[in-house]
Structure 1
Amino acid sequence: MKAAIAVLLALCAAATTGLVPIKRQGETEAPKVILDNDWGPTDFILVLMALASPYQILGLTSNTANSWALQCSLHALRSLQLGGLENCIPVHKGTDYPLLNTADLQQSWEYIHGALPWSGAFAPMNMTAEAAGSDPTDGNPNRIVPSSFVDGKAPDLNQLNGTMAAAFMVDMVREYPGEVSIYAAGSFTNIALAIRLDPTFAQNAKELVFMGGYIDTNLLMVTGSANEADINSDINIKIDPEAAKIVLTADWQNITLVGNAANSVFLNQTDLEEIYNVNNSFSQAMMQYFQAYFPLWDATALAVMLEPETVVTNSTDFFVDVDVAWYSPYYGNVRASQQMYAPKGQTLRSVRYPFAVDVERVKELVRDAVMQPGSCEDN
């Protein structure tokens, strides 16, 4: 009897120190995800979609792409505050600048090779657009535009987690090797830094799912409207091509690029009215800020991660490289190869590339997530 009690006490002591994890019979670990994004006013859609899934959100991290990482961090925090989620999901600010690219370099490249439809954070300052709710663009990563936040108030900077995004990613993958999916929408800068901080980072993550990597869209960019040119560019890679090169050649177990297929997914007026009729804090924010003339890029990429067998209706695999020659007109473009023609002088990775997705299922996931938002208990 004494021996049994001693064993029981030892197990309890070990459990409190984290040495012996206790798991109920039949209980399984939830898959885990880090959501890395250049967060905007309505990107809470991603958080709500993940909460409605079996995934556990370990944290949100911000990067510089559409706007600066600081502004995007505050959007992520405000998204959580809309649903009382700020105490159970941390927000980690990413690095301000790409690895090499700067606003001056971007403008010089555009002067030589032609303007990009959208230059993201490096676009010239537009005070008129900011007054109407747009995020800051120019050369200052520390400038905050309150008008782009729901209710016109930027969250308190002190509510951001002090651990930088790349370090947080490394810590989580070390704590849960083989279990953490990295979802990326925006630049690859944080993830490239994580790979450089820990050479085992990519191989110990479960997978990488990325919104970007457009293939053969040049004709669409020159034969359609200005908006058509915009949605077929690739700012998530082009704002930091060097980081993209590091990330897409790292030794991940699985890589999925959701590029062209995401351009087919839009919310129509019927979808929006269905969401607005629910009248919760998220639907109100969508009514104020959602830009229905853009595809559901980020939500489509996340849907591919959450339900790959359901959402992806046609896909293929090939090897990818990123053009990092600054003098090239294709600087920041993905270069695709089948295996027999892949470059022999470098190690490239095979990626999964969806050609087509179930548009109605993606929209259903978005509608359900916003209309029935999850809580901390769902995480």
Structure 2
Amino acid sequence: MQLVQATSVFLAAAGSVIASPLHSRNTTEKRYAILDNDWSPTGFVPYLMALDAGVEVLGIASSTANTWQKQCAYHALATLEVGNLGCIPVYYGSTYPIINTPELFQAWEAVHGVLPWQGAFKPYNSTAEALGFDPTSGPDPNRITEGAFVEGLPNITAASGSAAALMVEQVRKYPRQVSIYAAGALTNVALAVKLDDEFASLAKELVIMGGYVDVNMLQATGDFLQADINSDINLMIDPEASKIALTAPFPDIVIAGNVANQVMATQEFLDEVYEVKNPYSELFHTYYAAEAFFPYWDETAMALLVDPSLNLNSSTLYLDVDTAYGSPSYGNIHVYQKSLVPPNVRNVTYVHEIDTERLKAMMKRSLQYPKSCGDLGW
């Protein structure tokens, strides 16, 4: 990614640079994870990567970010069914952010400028939905746009209970063994933090996709795609939840922010994956870059969860989220060195660079030889 080197220089000044793995793993330790995301027709790659690495996925949660959470949950159910993975339960997340709404978000844009990617809070467009796009804004956040399901509508249903309750239940069942993966909004994680004072400290770690630093000039001087891929929608759609989650006492918080833009999708790699044909590789090949060649955002975060040695350069620094509604940086992060940190702000591991070839190898293997329920033996 074009901005990685410049940003790494800045962040290196803010914290101690680490050019080695985040931490070592005991390969005999049972590994668990809960995956929270704004799932899509090609959003299955992270859970295939987790399963390929031997991580037991305790549940999948849906979040409102790119579209409304119920549509995301249906995408999760549908893509699990495609690969005979219905043994993994899907839980509905919170439909609305803690405070933010489409109306508030659009009012903020009227003052501070329009985001190129607005996710679920993009103004309602019935024509787009009729053409098969996922729903945005609109009168009913629980509506399902059937035309968006290129993977097919699911026949299996979501589990009972909420995503936040699942997180609390599982970290208490497996204390300090459950990784929380959040590649959409952080609403469900924040609700779990507020539901149980010990939730964060009982988890193993929080790994998120989101949290860009110093990308404003790139948004202004780059083309529209550069502005788009540097829109921090995962944090901005629910800034208050982002602040709650990112200041909670998790043993470790790993941020895949700017680094998530490091590896862009290419037709060459899509074709390479499709050399081995199965339902997942076909969906990936046909639809991953249907609109544009975006970075491997969520896959980067998952790669850091399953194998921290992919981290080639990171800083330990302190991070806060701007929750001032009148600020043009509302929902964005600010980082500090320890001597300058304000109260109630904690340290995180901010990754600058990953091993791109190993990331793609992990993706390729998990897509070409995906696990199914019959393989898992849970």
Verify same fold: TM over 0.5.
Answer: yes
State whether structure 2 residue 33 is matched by structure 1 residue 39: no
- SS of equivalent to 1:159: coil
CA–CA distance in structure 2, aligned partners of residues 347 and 125 of structure 1: 38
- SS of equivalent to 1:130: helix
Task: Verify the 8 A CA contact 2:123 2:137 in the aligned structure 1.
Answer: yes
What does residue 322 of structure 2 align with? 323
Give the CA deviation at 1:132: 4.5
Which runs of at least 4 in structure 1 moved beyond 3 Å after TM superposition? 126-133
Q: TM-score scaled by structure 1?
A: 0.89
What does residue 350 of structure 2 align with? 353
Give the CA deviation at 1:223: 0.8
What does residue 85 of structure 1 align with? 85
CA–CA distance in structure 2, aligned partners of residues 274 and 118 of structure 1: 29
CA–CA distance in structure 2, aligned partners of residues 337 and 130 of structure 1: 42
Give the CA deviation at 1:126: 3.2
Letter in 2 for 1:138: S
Deviation digits for residues 101-128 of structure 1, max 9, x if unmatched?
0000001000001101111101012345
CA–CA distance in structure 2, aligned partners of residues 56 and 81 of structure 1: 17
What is the alpha-carbon root mean square deviation over aligned residues? 1.5
Letter in 2 for 1:256: V
- SS of equivalent to 2:36: strand
Give the CA deviation at 1:29: 4.6
- 1:237-276 equivalences in 2 (<5 Å): 237-276=235-274
CA–CA distance in structure 2, aligned partners of residues 267 and 358 of structure 1: 15
What does residue 233 of structure 2 align with? 235
Instruction: Select 1:281's aligned residue among 279, 282, 290.
Output: 279
Q: TM-score scaled by structure 2?
A: 0.89
Task: Verify the 8 A CA contact 1:321 1:336 in the aligned structure 2.
Answer: yes
CA–CA distance in structure 2, aligned partners of residues 294 and 175 of structure 1: 37
Task: Verify the 8 A CA contact 1:267 1:363 in the aligned structure 2.
Answer: no
CA–CA distance in structure 2, aligned partners of residues 340 and 228 of structure 1: 33
Task: Verify the 8 A CA contact 1:92 1:165 in the aligned structure 2.
Answer: yes
Task: Verify the 8 A CA contact 2:204 2:251 in the aligned structure 1.
Answer: yes
- SS of equivalent to 2:371: coil
Give the CA deviation at 1:266: 1.8
Task: Verify the 8 A CA contact 2:60 2:89 in the aligned structure 1.
Answer: yes
What does residue 198 of structure 2 align with? 200
What does residue 157 of structure 2 align with? 159
- SS of equivalent to 1:150: coil
- 1:83-162 equivalences in 2 (<5 Å): 83-86=83-86, 88-139=87-138, 140-151=140-151, 153-156=152-155, 159-162=157-160
- SS of equivalent to 1:168: helix
Letter in 1 for 2:371: G
Give the CA deviation at 1:134: 2.4
Q: Which runs of 5+ in 2 are unaligned?
A: 1-26
The higher-RCO structure (CA 8 Å, 6+ apart) is 2
Instruction: Select 1:375's aligned residue among 360, 372, 375.
Output: 372
Bigger radius of gyration: 1
Q: Which runs of 5+ in 1 are unaligned?
A: 1-26
CA–CA distance in structure 1, aligned partners of residues 29 and 322 of structure 2: 39
What does residue 217 of structure 2 align with? 219
CA–CA distance in structure 2, aligned partners of residues 125 and 278 of structure 1: 39
Task: Verify the 8 A CA contact 1:316 1:353 in the aligned structure 2.
Answer: yes
CA–CA distance in structure 2, aligned partners of residues 373 and 302 of structure 1: 16
What does residue 296 of structure 2 align with? 296
Aligned residues: 347
Instruction: Select 2:359's aligned residue among 348, 362, 378.
Output: 362
CA–CA distance in structure 1, aligned partners of residues 48 and 304 of structure 2: 15
Letter in 2 for 1:368: R
Percent of matched pairs sharing the same residue: 50
Q: 1:278 to 1:129 in 2, by over 3 A?
A: farther
Deviation digits for residues 300-358 of structure 1, max 9, x if unmatched?
0100111111x111111100010001011110010100000001xx2111000111111
Task: Verify the 8 A CA contact 2:271 2:285 in the aligned structure 1.
Answer: no
CA–CA distance in structure 2, aligned partners of residues 288 and 130 of structure 1: 20
State whether structure 2 residue 74 is matched by structure 1 residue 74: yes
Task: Verify the 8 A CA contact 1:206 1:253 in the aligned structure 2.
Answer: yes
What does residue 183 of structure 1 align with? 181
CA–CA distance in structure 1, aligned partners of residues 170 and 349 of structure 2: 24
CA–CA distance in structure 2, aligned partners of residues 29 and 252 of structure 1: 19
CA–CA distance in structure 2, aligned partners of residues 72 and 226 of structure 1: 26
Greater mean deviation of Cα atoms: 102-111 or 139-148? 139-148
Give the CA deviation at 1:142: 1.0
CA–CA distance in structure 2, aligned partners of residues 168 and 66 of structure 1: 22
Give the CA deviation at 1:288: 3.1
Give the CA deviation at 1:28: 4.7
